[in-house]
């Protein structure tokens, strides 16, 4: 989603708290706010003025799904539970007053506020939660818990979903837009390899490394097939055993760890 230049400035004013209905945020609090969205900034010497920093981050994320996350996080009711002056309802009213000119509006959806376009369709996007090593550990822990409880099919499904989520996150972060997922893990992996420059070059890589990288291709293909045959998303075509589930989970951990490390390396 894309905001106009006028609304970028107004949103920055809302986030910094330099408007009428929003709590004031210090420079450190602004850094924390945008890091929750996916930035990787530090507060320290040479930090720009608050409004200039906020505007720059909004412009960086403009025309991506992170703008949706920024706006929805700004009016998260949980941020106002201990706020003595401002209310969430006032914040929503303020933001709606200007984003309507770009064709969007915040509405109450359950306990939270969600962004819709003016035709009433929810603006879709991935979770605000940052996908990092801690997120992976949490998901692998859930897979192992399912194995311990005898839910081998569920563990396989969860491991495949983890691989899918990490790949989608990498692609969307690099391309800056939501992608259409056709449900084929191999297609996602092809895009990820292209973005992370994971092509196998015999002229620069030793044979042993090439063998391991080729093994990742096999993991993706095998995980896709195993989840289709054994996962709880489909009719179980054979009697899944514990060691099948552990193989899927441990292979997924190896795969996604390598992909995130490769993404960090490419950024550096």
**pLDDT in the model for residue 261:** 92
The yes-or-no verdict on residue 231 having pLDDT over 60 is no
Q: 125: number of CA atoms within 13 Å, CB side?
A: 23
**Residue 20 and residue 80: Cα distance in Å, rounded?**
15
The yes-or-no verdict on residue 235 having pLDDT over 50 is no
pTM value > 0.75: no
Burial of 138 (0-12, 13-18, 19+ CB in 10 A): exposed
**pLDDT in the model for residue 132:** 80
**Residue 13 and residue 111: Cα distance in Å, rounded?**
25
- Residue with the larger pLDDT of the pair 256 and 120: 256
Q: How confident is the model at residue 122 (pLDDT cuts 50, 70, 90)?
A: low
**pLDDT in the model for residue 10:** 96
Q: What is the DSSP letter of 132?
A: S
Question: How does pLDDT run across 186-214, given as a tens digit for each residue?
Answer: 999 999 999 998 888 788 888 898 899 89
Radius of gyration over every alpha carbon of the chain, rounded to an integer in angstroms: 22
Question: How does pLDDT run across 34-62, given as a tens digit for each residue?
Answer: 988 877 788 888 899 999 999 999 998 88
Which position has the token pair 């490390």?
Answer: 261
**pLDDT in the model for residue 169:** 87
The kind and range of the H/E element at 117 are strand 112-117
Q: In whole numbers, what is the pLDDT of the chain averaged over residues?
A: 86
Q: 20: number of CA atoms within 13 Å, CB side?
A: 7
**pLDDT in the model for residue 75:** 95
Q: Hey, how many other C-beta atoms are within 10 angstroms of the C-beta on 141?
A: 10
User: How would DSSP label each residue in 95-114?
Assistant: HHHHHGGGTEEEEEETTEEE
């Amino acid at each position: 989603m894309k905001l106009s230049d006028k609304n970028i400035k107004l949103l920055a004013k809302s986030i910094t708290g330099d408007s009428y209905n929003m709590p004031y945020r210090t420079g450190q609090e602004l850094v924390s706010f945008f890091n929750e969205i996916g930035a990787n900034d530090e507060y320290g010497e040479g930090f720009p003025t608050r409004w200039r920093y906020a505007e720059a981050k909004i412009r960086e994320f403009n025309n991506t799904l992170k703008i949706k996350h920024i706006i929805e996080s700004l009016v998260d009711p949980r941020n106002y539970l201990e706020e003595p002056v401002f209310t969430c309802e006032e914040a929503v009213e303020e933001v709606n007053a200007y984003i309507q000119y770009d064709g969007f509006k915040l509405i109450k959806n359950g306990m939270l506020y969600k962004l819709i376009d003016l035709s009433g369709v929810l603006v879709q996007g991935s979770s605000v939660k940052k996908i990092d090593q801690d997120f992976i550990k949490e998901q692998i822990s859930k897979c192992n818990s399912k194995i311990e409880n005898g839910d081998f099919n569920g563990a396989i499904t969860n491991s495949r979903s983890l691989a899918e989520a990490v790949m989608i996150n990498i692609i969307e972060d690099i391309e800056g837009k939501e992608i259409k997922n056709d449900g084929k893990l191999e297609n996602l992996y092809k895009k990820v390899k292209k973005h992370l420059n994971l092509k196998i070059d015999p002229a620069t890589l030793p044979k042993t490394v090439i063998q391991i990288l080729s093994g990742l291709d096999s993991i993706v293909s095998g995980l896709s097939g195993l989840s289709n045959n054994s996962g709880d998303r489909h009719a179980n075509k054979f009697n899944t055993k514990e060691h099948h589930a552990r193989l899927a989970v441990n292979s997924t951990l190896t795969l996604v760890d390598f992909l995130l490390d490769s993404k960090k390396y490419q950024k550096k």
